[in-house]
Structure 1
């Protein structure tokens, strides 16, 4: 349990597993969802850390990482993660993120492919309009003023237990709501991405199946028959749709662990 000084941020991280980090067995960096923290990975950490080193980190303003004077954007957080990988001397690491953390992992791979061996994006859209309309409406209603209504939720319980400055909670909610209002479309950068990537979504996610299919197509998937020998597959990229799963439980799903582990170990 330590802090790394990266990009003006004192970033909290933990190391799990005792396997040596090598080129053939790189470390895995796990990035949590928005408003939560790295503790949310606890149910699946033993499985992921069996045979590999796992690094969990709290992103800007979340849990044990105090906020700083800058907006919260997945682009700048992607820079933070790359800096953490360099700070720890991990070489090229595997990076896996869920939801908001998935966006951060994606930006890390886009902006710093030299430090990412493989990328796993769990339940994150490539474009802002990928969210279902009712989800977008809920996001528009979120603001620093609505933070008070979260005081009876697991989000607040974790923040209250771990954050260095409880008074920053409305600020975190406000910054996250501001990020949610920013339009984004990473289509062209994803088309150019050369980092082997796995997409993992729930079969009842907060994005339409069409959006998920479009994301997969950006990586070259679902465009042709792979053939008897699989030669028509989209390179090293993979897609997993997990049955009987939602956006809110996918990050602790045994099926997600199995899918990610198979991809990372291949």
Structure 2
């Protein structure tokens, strides 16, 4: 338990550093439908922002840039500026970047509905329809990776390519001690952190913060295994984990092998899907090492994935 508390404290410190490195958000309002102030990400503001009526939610979203669309799905307890401040300015130079805040996160108020990867994937599908976007690349981090996997399974016609950062498609994709720690996470561990501060600042009831933490953690307290469905995804997949991540190496390798990996490319040609294990990188550290993996992601999204003939 002492080790677990240390990990949570480290999480809070990292989040504080990330928050302090961002340009302050203009959005300290209460998340009403009639008053929406835009975030400032770096030196840019969204081209469009607002609330979409999706599946009983009023889902907050922002759109940046022009070009092929990509959807960014944040991790647990995060919001747009906390998770994507270093990424939106890069991707929006030549892409349309769609970012949203999931159920109960940021400016998207919670509703009396089960908190699940499946429900959130359906919300993303409905948001794309609201934005009149037929299909998009989808990038999910951590919790957002689970949402992205379910989006690919449930709404394949809306997906072009899939990017998963530090996400899992089965509960045992986490290292055993990581999975065991989920049940111990509670509101006391987040006191004074940017997670609690952003929750309070957006008009939520502070007395319900503990319920919010429990609800966000609830999908990972139930066994799940989407291995069969995920391995049958037809879209190309790029999966990246840190070498000191919470995700087991074997979990990522199993998916890569199912998507054509595990062979010498010079003899058999390159698979359409890709795998990266980022050195010196933890689960939270994935968001601090964007300069390492972001060029890999953009190369994957821009590349011609036609069958590659063997070199020999």
Q: TM-score, length-normalised on structure 1?
A: 0.90
In 2, distance between residues paired with 1:71 and 1:134? Answer: 26
Counterpart selection for 1:159 from 199, 202, 220: 199
Other-structure match for 2:137: 94
Counterpart selection for 2:234 from 180, 194, 204: 194
Counterpart selection for 1:134 from 167, 177, 180: 177
Cα drift, residue 165 of structure 1: 4.5
Aligned pair count? 253
Cα drift, residue 166 of structure 1: 4.1
In 1, distance between residues paired with 2:79 and 2:50? Answer: 15
Larger Rg, first or second structure (1 or 2): 2
Counterpart selection for 1:115 from 158, 163, 174: 158
Other-structure match for 1:258: 295
Other-structure match for 1:242: 278
Other-structure match for 2:35: none
Question: What CA deviation, in whole Å up to 9, does each residue of 1:130-151 have, x standing for no partner?
Answer: 2112212220213xxx213312
Other-structure match for 1:218: 258
Other-structure match for 1:36: 78
Cα drift, residue 251 of structure 1: 2.6
Unaligned stretches of 5+ residues in structure 2: 1-48, 304-312
Counterpart selection for 1:148 from 181, 184, 188: 188
Cα drift, residue 163 of structure 1: 5.1
Q: Which has the higher contact order (CA 8 A, sep 6+)?
A: 1
Cα drift, residue 258 of structure 1: 1.0
Structure-to-structure mapping, 1:37-116, within 5 angstroms: 37-39=79-81, 40-116=83-159
Give secondary structure in 1 for the equivalent of 2:85: helix
Structure-2 change in CA distance of 1:47 and 1:173 (3 Å)? same
Cα drift, residue 38 of structure 1: 1.7
- Check whether the contact 1:15–1:54 (CA below 8 A) recurs between aligned residues: yes
The reply on whether 1:8 has 2:56 as its aligned counterpart is yes
Other-structure match for 2:225: 185
The reply on whether 1:170 has 2:207 as its aligned counterpart is no
Question: What CA deviation, in whole Å up to 9, does each residue of 1:78-100 have, x standing for no partner?
Answer: 01001101110111111111000
Give secondary structure in 2 for the equivalent of 1:249: helix
